[in-house]
Structure 1
Amino acid sequence: YKRKPTLINNYVQSIHYMLETSKALNINNIFKDITMSYQQRIKNNIFFRDCTWQIIFAKWLRYSPMFCSDVRINKLLKKYYSTKLIENKLDPHWVTGFIDAEGCFSVIIEISESLKSKVRISFEINLHVKDKEILYKIQSFFGVGGIYHRPDRKKSVYRVTNVNNINDVIIPHFTKYPLISKKGVDFLLWCKVVKMILNKEHLTKEGFLTILSYYAYINRGVSKKVLNYYPNIIPSDKPIIDLPNNLNPQWVSGFVAGDGGFSIYVKSAKDYVLLEKVYCRFHIAQHSKDLELMKLFIKFFDCGVVNLRSNLSTPRCDFIVQDTNSLLKKIIPHFDSYPLLNLKQEDYVCFKQWIVDFI
């Protein structure tokens, strides 16, 4: 949009009015995303050359710890998002989607100097401590496991390690509501390890070596310590994960709550009053091995593109929607119907309000 200079004051006042009810939002400058909740404080003028933008966005981001660590938090807004948005029981598809993005199925191998080995298993979700309330909701959903906090690392973890709880609760859930990202491969191999532990097969040499073959493919593979003791581990065959024809809308919101983002970025525009233009973008980032899954988002939302990043050291792909019409007619209606439920919902509300009021 273009505005005449005489409208600048009204424009700024309107933004101030809107932003009095906002808390925090992800902003990037020229496609460099920075997430407010997880990055260190930086100076306001890192984004904007023009003094007017500094004033506008400093006011907008008044509740962001990234910009104003000493400003009192809007307690009413915090209470609203941290409790009321997640009062209802979680949808199982949403849970699977969120864990497809944020969950971890681990096999822990412990080997002593006497070559005595121990096998442990764990299902967990690691989040920033600010997002701990969704972990309590997930714990309530499953009815098992515990939540542990690491204030020194600003982390909260939901973890299930009891093999019977895993077998009776966790595995049946993901059997009924399957993971569809490549994390599903980890889950299937992890399930085999769980069964072997229940059958005491991990206590035999043959069983332990079989577990090592599964362990070699799960998450980051074999640790250096285990590899020192067992350098000739032969990885097992990988299971095949079949993608669905269509994505479940609850799964989509759960997945976006983990790996999605809502951004505003500013680019130079000489024909605009403030000499810069605001753009909005919805995006999902994922490892390039899930490229085909990312393409399903194009089909689901009926908009957007998927781009492979050129940097080979970070094999990632991104689903991106930045067309204003698509954001208004496809993205916003979806998340209005299927909320994100965690703290990322706050980003979405600010993002939506900006688009509806000013684009």
Structure 2
Amino acid sequence: MSLTVLKVNESFTRSAYFEYKLKDKHILIILACLFELLILQLKKFIFMLALDNFYQDRQATSKNYNLKISRSRLNKLYSKKNIFFKSTYRMYSTLFTDKELAVMGLSSLHPYATTSEDEIKNFYAWFAGFTDAEGYFYIAISSSCAFRFQINLHKDDMHVLYFIQKNLGFGEVRSYNNYSSFTVTRLKDVKKLIVIFSQYPLQGSKWLNYKDFAKAFELYTNSTYAADSNLLKEILEIKNGMNKLRSDYTSLKEINITPYWLLGFIEGEGCFSINKGNSYRLDFSLTQAYSNLELMKKIKSYLENLPNAGGNYANALGISIIKYSNINHQSTVRIETTRIPYITNILIPFLENLTWHSKKQLDFQDWKIILMLKEKGHHFTEQGVNLIDRILNQMNNNRLSTNTKVLKSNVDRSLLLADIKDILNGPSNFEVKNGKKFIISLNKYYKSSRKNSSVEILDDIGNIIISFEIL
């Protein structure tokens, strides 16, 4: 083997050039491979430099959630101004092995793909439920057709979109000012997506949009001439009956609720709330457009008849419908429960047994903590009330990084969890006297003020639409 320099400009000016000639072409291939490996290692090294800047702040926020890196630190680094970190953060999942990701504690921010057959099935079921809550099917028509599936979330939930992308094996994740999106636009990937939803179907009215989306896609991809005017006219007619333009919600599809479909739907649409004005009453609810009335009835029935319910919670969840005479206001349907026996014995054990993927798990965990504090009577003490208020100050929308109304001193989660642990490990504020529950801090017997309340739902001109009792 010999390396010969054929020409070198003697003045070494900008016009100087080199021409290399290798007798053995295999050496060139080997050198190219070595160079590629060098670039790969360099990318790893660059990312680790960026990662090291915030890796010191990593902390476990809960046993189950496994979020090991300070989210506020990550949001600060993953900003528009920090282009260096942003680009390296996007590429790290392709640079490191699953084992390396786990060691670095990055699995929950950009979880690696599931491996077992059960995990894959659970993911697809969860993804279908999450799509019923957050997904969107769209067709764009000009001289040809473009098909797009999209999920938009708050920027704090970008790791959920990366989780979806990683497990599907396709799609793109993009970040904008206050939100992030996952999109599927390539025809080959749209085809894969359609197959997935045919095997793990959507359950709500969004299934109708999926069905039309798939029909239009099949027409387009099976056509020999994509710009055919009659074809585009037929697809346009389909498009004009989708999403907000849909008027016919008739569906012959049988609704089938499964645990992971329901978890995905809850992570998208569920609400775990606390009513401060009613002795910190716990409330779990789901709200949908009226077109999903049948779906909500099925969810209500499913939750009331979970395996451990034993037929004892037939009316554990209430259902209400709000209709508006104003055509600009879409009617809604809501299911909810505030019944503590059902929440404690049925709902919480069911949800605890599933693997969550979004920050809503933190809301669920905090919701449970408030229940535990109430069960020990700490909502009757000044210390307990202050602690519950601190929890509420970083629940739901108060948890968002874009929320400027919450004082930073009140959202130190590690300090909050430490204070929660201290008070829960301490003595209860309840004791039993003469067979009755006694509140130590108030020096009086506990008397529940809970009663069934009659509620009337009115339209915008005062007509009664429906009346029911809150359980």
Give yes or no for contact 1:180–1:241 (8 Å, CA) kept in 2.
no
**1:208 aligned onto 2:208:** no
Q: 2:364 aligns with which of 335, 338, 348?
A: 348
Q: Deviations over 1:250-295 (max 9, x none)?
A: 1110100001110001226xxxxxxxx1111000111110011101
Distance 1:241 1:137, change over 3 A: farther
Aligned match of 2:294: 292
Distance in 2 (CA, whole Å) between partners of 1:353 and 1:187 is 39
SS at match of 2:333: strand
Aligned match of 1:221: 245
Q: 1:126 aligns with which of 121, 127, 152?
A: 152
Q: 1:178 aligns with which of 201, 204, 221?
A: 201
1:1-359 matches, cutoff 5 A: 75-77=59-61, 80-81=66-67, 89=114, 91-110=123-142, 117-151=143-177, 154-167=178-191, 169-200=192-223, 202-221=226-245, 240-244=251-255, 246-267=256-277, 277-302=279-304, 303-312=316-325, 313-359=329-375
**Counterpart residue type for residue 118 of structure 1:** S
Give the aligned length: 256
Runs ≥4 residues deviating over 3 A:
73-76, 81-88
Distance in 1 (CA, whole Å) between partners of 2:182 and 2:333 is 28
* Percent of matched pairs sharing the same residue: 23
Distance 1:267 1:239, change over 3 A: closer
1:340, CA displacement in angstroms?
3.1
Distance in 1 (CA, whole Å) between partners of 2:67 and 2:336 is 26
Distance 1:305 1:351, change over 3 A: same
1:238, CA displacement in angstroms?
6.8
Give yes or no for contact 2:126–2:263 (8 Å, CA) kept in 1.
yes
Higher relative contact order (CA 8 A, sep 6+): 1
Q: Deviations over 1:114-134 (max 9, x none)?
A: xxx332110111101100101
Give yes or no for contact 1:81–1:345 (8 Å, CA) kept in 2.
no
Distance 1:108 1:171, change over 3 A: same
Distance 1:77 1:127, change over 3 A: same
Distance in 2 (CA, whole Å) between partners of 1:327 and 1:278 is 15
Distance in 2 (CA, whole Å) between partners of 1:297 and 1:204 is 44
Distance 1:174 1:180, change over 3 A: same
Decide which structure has the larger Cα Rg and report it. 2
Q: Deviations over 1:162-197 (max 9, x none)?
A: 111111x10110010111100000001001111122
Give yes or no for contact 1:182–1:241 (8 Å, CA) kept in 2.
no
Q: Deviations over 1:228-258 (max 9, x none)?
A: xxxxxxx9x87724233x5101111010000
Distance 1:163 1:84, change over 3 A: closer
SS at match of 1:185: helix
Distance in 1 (CA, whole Å) between partners of 2:199 and 2:351 is 24
Give yes or no for contact 1:91–1:250 (8 Å, CA) kept in 2.
yes
1:87, CA displacement in angstroms?
6.2
For structure 2, list consecutive stretches of 5 or more residues without a partner in the other structure. 1-56, 69-105, 115-121, 305-315, 376-471
Distance in 2 (CA, whole Å) between partners of 1:196 and 1:98 is 27
Distance in 2 (CA, whole Å) between partners of 1:74 and 1:319 is 38
Give yes or no for contact 1:339–1:345 (8 Å, CA) kept in 2.
no
Give yes or no for contact 1:96–1:177 (8 Å, CA) kept in 2.
yes
SS at match of 1:80: coil
Higher mean alpha-carbon deviation, 172-181 vs 75-84, is at 75-84
SS at match of 1:106: strand
For structure 1, list consecutive stretches of 5 or more residues without a partner in the other structure. 1-72, 111-116, 223-234, 269-276
SS at match of 1:91: helix
Distance 1:137 1:280, change over 3 A: same
1:221, CA displacement in angstroms?
2.8
Distance 1:323 1:74, change over 3 A: farther
Aligned match of 1:40: none
